Chain A
Amino acid sequence: MSTPQSQASLSALADRWLPKLVLSPTLLISLVFVYGFIAWTGWLSLTESRLLPQMDFAGLIQYQALFENDRWWTAVANLGIFGGLFIGCTLAVGLFLAVLLDQKIRSEGTLRTIYLYPMALSFIVTGTAWKWMLNPDMGLQKVINDWGFPDFTFDWLVDPDKAIYTVVIAGVWQSSGFVMALFLAGLRGIDDSIIKAAQVDGASLPVIYWRIIIPSLRPVFFSVLLILSHIAIKSFDLVMALTGGGPGTASDVPAIFMYQFAFTRGQLGLGAASAMMMLMTIVAVLVPLMYMETRSAKRG
């Protein structure tokens, strides 16, 4: 019955619809569980929800309460300090390590593993370990004091003005190995002939890196920024394990703020409002970045 023609049209039909059919469950699931819940959180932030979700529209009162809350602004300021320093330092350290490792040294594999290893730990482990190391009563300060330098002090962890910087230290330690691995992969992907040509022209190694190699790592920079900025904004476990948001509320970040208000203080609406603010921050950072990247990709 089936003519070769109808078979061909059937397979054309399958070609057209099969990929869509295969992808549709994932699409549906992410629509509901990502965008659906984002929309639901957005709606909750416009209600007076307290202990349990409540659906009556209440306008922008939760945002108003949020902006009047001192603690929110502490959290936002801390996110600014932490995000800026964490992204900047991790990028610099990761790139530096990658450039060093790129010098075709022996035992590169071993070194790479050592630098990459912190990424295998969870932020909870990192936070707890650094909490012990930075504790003035039993960590670094005590060790150096016991070595015969009684005047040495390093008590950032218990200093309300400096506690947020200890989070930066632990975060950079955790993530720079991973960033190094990404950069190293990028470095290895650069065409050797360009470098050879530059060498023939008499360029020194630092100049080659500065003028040729690093600029051609642009796509890697983009992925690294994307990953680091979203680690920074959602950072919760690291701060929780390292300082618990303290001393007092000195190293509070928006993620901890959201958790406490939504789940332990019975202010679900306010928590939802702060979650929406975090989402908007990510969108505000990432949308221009992605726009720039797609445009340059089209041009290139």
Chain B
Amino acid sequence: MKRKQLSAALLAATLLPATVFAGEVEVLHWWTSGGEAKSVAELKKMMTAKGDNWKDFAVAGGGGDNAMTALKTRVVSGNPPTAAQIKGPAIQEWGAEGVLANIDAVAKAEGWDKQLPPVVSQVMKYKGQYVAAPVNVHRVNWLWVNPEAFKKAGAKVPASWPEFFDAAEKLKKAGIQPIAHGGQPWQDATLFESVALGVGGPAYYKKAFVQLDQATLAGPTTLKVFETLQKVKGYIDKGAAGRDWNLATAMVINGKAGMQFMGDWAKGEFTAAGKKPGKDFLCVAAPGTAGSFTFNIDSLAMFKQKDAAAQKAQADLAETVMSKNFQEVFNLNKGSIPARLDTPMDKFDDCAKKSKADLTAASKSGGLVPSFAHKMAMPSATEGAMDDVISQFMNSSMSPKTATERLAKAGKVH
């Protein structure tokens, strides 16, 4: 009986927005901050130019959590938006619910398979068929460096872990905080995965965090990762707990701290402060990860539409999102790089060009790995359990051995 009442309520909710125009696209997203909002406005312009009606469905806040709640309500009530900002394994989870639309026709006509690195196109497919279009690629394993602080301390920009700890020690002696960090669970996980990739390499990373292999997770390499992380922890100030990532970036910008582990969205903070890449700040791969690339890809997953006009508009949307023009404009605003490999890069800055070159190289060498801290590698339940272990390790005196055992246990959560 409860179910009947529920479906009646949901039916009522569906009937309310019944005025759907022909060829309307409604995109659920949480790109609401400055540069991101500009990028979305660009997409709207391109869609209107194609003769489609654009209906914005922006849900701000909570890193997308609020948006996901709104999306669930819409899907359960049988009235999904044209597309929604969903990424990583969540695409598979939604695919398994049977609500995603097949956009293979557009993908074939436009040759997506040739334009995307295979690792990326795999994420966009459910059971071998395209159901989502990527809009950008973020690199997560960056180390942001303040060269002036390094000069003052007489330290060398590190490429390996011994060099890193050497530089950190010198910075500390010079009275500069070696590492700027924000102690929030996702930032702890971001730091952890860079250390894991640097210490264990891409083969270990894939086995442990993509395949969730128990023996690897509980093995000696994971122990070494935690031991290294414990050493890194020693160079982080106590005030880091709860600090937002952009405040940590600000510490690097004004020279209070020497380095920060963070994805390439940190670049936006530097450029907003009027800093130039290569001169006022450096972007280098996290120690030991030079040939590898941890990716975090935003994508728009397409939902099944009943109406033929809506289906046509959806195809238009998919085509537009993957067009060179959109990929360039969007990513210039967002700080990331285009997912489409043949997009011209001349308007981008040096960090983005380097990111692109590393992406291409890593894609060939097998060093291209999904970032699990950013929901790209494992089911959200597993990732949540791992985040809990990592942030407990970062915020207590837990031994690397215990942490390794708990991480392996977390890998069993599905």
Contacts and interface: CB of A to CB of B under 8 A. Distances in A.
Contact of B183 (A32, A247, A260, A264): A247
Contact of B384 (A39, A70, A158, A264): A264
Contacts, number: 89
B345 interface: no
B241 interface: yes
Contact of A157 (B3, B90, B241): B241
B93 A51 contact: yes
B273 interface: no
Contact of B72 (A43, A52, A71): A52
A166 to B, nearest CB: 11
Given A36-B2, A53-B76, A158 B241 contact: yes
* Interface range, A side: 35 or more
A163 B93 CA distance: 36
A243 B68 CA distance: 24
Nearest to B392: A248
Given A40-B2, A263-B69, A264-B65, A246 B391 contact: yes
B11 interface: no
Interface in A91-136: 131, 135-136
A56 interface: no
Contacts of B6: 40
Interface string B59-99: 00000010011001001100000000000001001100100
Contacts of A248: 183, 185, 188, 391-392, 394-396
B242 A243 contact: yes
Nearest to B97: A52
Contact of B238 (A55, A71, A136): A136
Interface string B380-409: 110110001001101110000000000000
Contact of B184 (A55, A155, A244): A244
A137 B183 contact: no
Contact of B239 (A158, A163, A244): A158
B242 A158 contact: yes
A31 to B, nearest CB: 10
B201 interface: no
B35 interface: no
Nearest to B9: A32
Contacts of A50: 93, 381
A246 B239 contact: no
Interface in A41-67: 43, 50-53, 55
Interface string A16-31: 0000000000000000
Interface residues of B, number: 34
Given A40-B2, A244-B184, A261-B384, A157 B97 contact: no
A263 B239 contact: no
Nearest to B6: A40
B291 interface: no
B33 interface: no
B255 interface: no
Nearest to A155: B238
Interface string B1-22: 0110110000000000000000
B395 A157 contact: no
A50 to B, nearest CB: 8
B241 A55 contact: no
A244 B62 CA distance: 12
Interface string B312-352: 00000000000000000000000000000000000000000
Contacts of B90: 266
A216 interface: no
B277 interface: no
10 contacts: A52-B76, A55-B3, A158-B183, A160-B396, A246-B183, A247-B241, A263-B68, A264-B384, A265-B380, A267-B384
Nearest 5 Cβ contacts at the A-B interface: A248-B395, A158-B241, A247-B241, A248-B391, A247-B395
Interface of A: 32, 36, 39-40, 43, 50-53, 55, 70-71, 131, 135-137, 155, 157-158, 160, 163, 243-244, 246-250, 260-261, 263-267
Given A51-B94, A247-B391, 14 more contacts: A40-B6, A50-B381, A70-B388, A136-B239, A158-B239, A244-B184, A244-B242, A246-B242, A246-B391, A248-B185, A248-B396, A250-B395, A264-B65, A265-B381
